[in-house]
Amino acid sequence: MTELPLTSRARPDRRPHALGEWRALGGYAAVERARAMPPAEVIDMVEAAHLNGRGGAGFPAGRKWRFMPERGTSPGEGPNYLIVNGDEMEPGAFKDRYLLEALPHQVLEGAIITAHATHCDEAIILIRDEYRPGIAAVEHAIHEARDAGLLGGLHVRVHPSAGRYIVGEETALITALEGHRAVPRKRPPFPAQSGLWGRPTTVNNVETISLVPHILDLGAQRFRALSRTEEGGTKLYGVSGRVKRPQLIEAPMGTTARELIERAGGISGDGRLRAFQPGGGASGFLGPEHLDLPLDFGHVAVAGSMFGTGMLIVLDGSACPIGLLARHMRFYARESCGWCTPCREGLPLVSKILDRFEAGQGRRADLDLLHMTADEASPRGRSFCDLMGGAMAPLSSGLRMFAAEFEARLAEGERP
């Protein structure tokens, strides 16, 4: 394969490949390779490749897989489960849609290999309902692969969700699959010990899974060397918001925002970069001084934000950052599962205050309340899952970075 393993086989019009075409392009060779290896060796390879999970947290995939017990070694009876998370709903994220629609066999190949490495008997690919073309493409791919005997003994099925952001959370997704309202669960026990139906479970993002076959094809060292940093491989970056040609770009891990924005046609609006979120709606803002920061999990964390999904949202000088924050908070308020009080009550309040500011009716006490909420609710552990903390990341960094805008709006509000 070339240096852009993830997308180089895709058709420009995003039509998925039939199995025959996919195999002619080298598809499923990695599955054979993996099956000839003991699971532990596949994990060694993935670790050596430095593959970090692409769903948002960036946890090393190999290390996560190592938590999975071998068949028959965990107490009780039942299968081990692999869940492929394609419930992508984070504002600004549009990579999994592309992978599911355009490259379903790649997703499936990755699932087969991952299931082998993690001793899983069953794989469930969870996809949001709005991604019907992706659901259809993956279902068709499963059908073809099953008929061709490529699944081995692995049971694979698609589970379409029905429109709730929280379902994408690792443990909430397990609760959802068990037929309950998707509320997150306490960790520990981690899913690898007790996940779906209390059985060992691994949850990986669609992009993570899609990269796995390429580690087998290229070898760990070559895969790792595709990156510009310590974190291996390429990344499917997204650039959207105020750029001239919003798009997905596969590039070496560690590519800079400057390069990505340039490839997306440059800044639109007034042509000046004001700020960007490096990892979707729940990542803190970075400024022009971070244009040359290598974008990967480690570097972005050191810069004080989160790489998350690696999907950039770009703000130019003429975009209203308060308006953007208001949209984000409205989204998180609506999508809260409602379990924890700060999240259920706090987010709608924050959202309402931001709406007031946007309308030029903000008050000093409101601004104080925003600061207080951000300070109190940001630290991990203040609420049960990461939704609340994630929502606070753009708010806290936004309050700092856009202090002048808030003051200006305040002045408007205080004018009689």
The residues binding ligand SF4 (CB under 6 A) are 166, 184, 336-340, 343-344, 383-385, 387-388
Pick the closer one to other proteins by CB: 227 or 351: 351
Pick the closer one to other proteins by CB: 202 or 227: 202
Pairwise CA distance, residues 124 & 106, whole Å? 15
Pick the closer one to ligand SF4 by CB: 267 or 282: 282
Shortest distance, position 391 Cβ to other proteins, whole Å? 12
130's contact among other proteins, ligand SF4, none, with CB below 5 to 8 A by partner kind, is other proteins
Q: Judged by CB under 8 A, does residue 250 bind other proteins?
A: no
Pairwise CA distance, residues 387 & 407, whole Å? 28
142's contact among ligand SF4, other proteins, none, with CB below 5 to 8 A by partner kind, is none
215's contact among other proteins, ligand SF4, none, with CB below 5 to 8 A by partner kind, is none
The residues that bridge with 243 in the sheet, in sequence order, are 267
> Edge-to-edge strand order for the sheet containing 155-160?
155-160, 122-127, 81-86, 201-205
Amino acid at 66: R
Taking alpha carbons only, the member of 122, 159, 153, 120 closest to residue 138 is 159
Q: Judged by CB under 8 A, does residue 152 bind other proteins?
A: no
Out of 25, 29, 225, 248, the residue judged to bind other proteins by CB under 8 A: 248
Pick the closer one to ligand SF4 by CB: 93 or 123: 93
8: which 2 tokens? 């180089």
Shortest distance, position 386 Cβ to ligand SF4, whole Å? 7
Pick the closer one to other proteins by CB: 40 or 162: 162
Shortest distance, position 388 Cβ to ligand SF4, whole Å? 4
Q: Which of residues 164-223 bind other proteins (CB under 8 A)?
A: 164-165, 176-182, 197
Cβ–Cβ contacts within 10 Å for residue 411, how many?
11
Site string for other proteins, 110-139 (x = CB under 8 A): ------------------xxxxxx------
Q: Judged by CB under 8 A, does residue 90 bind other proteins?
A: yes
Out of 54, 97, 105, 274, the residue judged to bind other proteins by CB under 8 A: 97
Pick the closer one to other proteins by CB: 217 or 386: 386
Residues that bind other proteins (CB under 8 A): 88-94, 96-97, 128-133, 157, 160-165, 176-182, 197, 238, 240-242, 246-248, 281, 311, 313-315, 319, 323-324, 327-328, 330-331, 335
